[in-house]
Amino acid sequence: MKLQNIPASYKIALWVVALVAVDQIVKLLVHYNIPLGGQIEVFDWFRLCHIENNGFAFGMQLSSGGSIDWGKIVLSVFRLAMIGLVIYGIRYLLRKPDTPKGVLAGAIGNMADSTFYGLLFDEQNAGFLTGKVVDMFYFPLFKWESVPSMLRFLVSSDGYFFGAVFNVADAYISVAVVYLLIFQYKFFK
């Protein structure tokens, strides 16, 4: 069977499976090789960390703080709904050969963490749909001393610009969304 004879839906499915596999392998490597809270300085401006994020992308939190983490459950249900919508929309997307697969792969990767990591890793002490997402990439680019309050989310607690710690799935989603906004702006019409 030649590559051009493979249906577009199979090609998208293969891309998504490959992207999710890379995301999960990196997360497991970090989980088992860097202690929780630890970091390895690769360059002055790039560190590999092991953070377990209880919330949204880039470390933003959504937590109710009660005995049942309703915020986390709502986030997980929202992720499931988004995955369902993207899969449903793939019929339309199949007609566009340069559709980014990262949104679906990123959503599935982070959903896998929330769904199963709470059950797999004892130290998370979480259940089904309430597991934490493993984050690892940190780019402390430069210190930003006087940050305007509306831009505080761009700075880490120690004052570095782009202080978010994120993972491969977050990068997939971000790159795919930027790609859609820049190159596929007609997609949203």
Q: Which of 44, 98, 135, 158 is catalytic?
A: 135
**What's the rounded Cα separation, in Å, for the pair 109 and 105?**
6
Q: How far apart are the first and last CA of the chain?
A: 36
158 catalytic residue (yes or no): no
The active-site residue, picked from 23, 69, 113, 170, is: 170
- For residue 170, indicate whether it is catalytic: yes
What are the two backbone dihedrals, phi and then psi, of residue 117, each rounded to the nearest 5 degrees? -65, -30
The whole-angstrom separation of Cα 166 and Cα 71 is: 20
Supply the residues annotated as catalytic.
135, 170
